Amino acid sequence: MASKEGHKSDTERHRIEGFMEAGVFLSISTYKAMSDVMARVHLEVWGKTVQQRQEEAKNQWQDDAVDYGIYETPTIDRSSKK
pLDDT tens digits for range 23-69: 999 999 999 999 999 899 989 988 999 899 888 878 777 666 677 78
Give the other-Cβ count within 10 Å of 54's Cβ: 11
pLDDT at 8 over 80: no
Give the residue, 76 or 47, on which the prediction is more confident. Answer: 47
pLDDT at 1 over 60: no
The pTM for the full model equals 0.53
End-to-end CA distance of the chain: 21
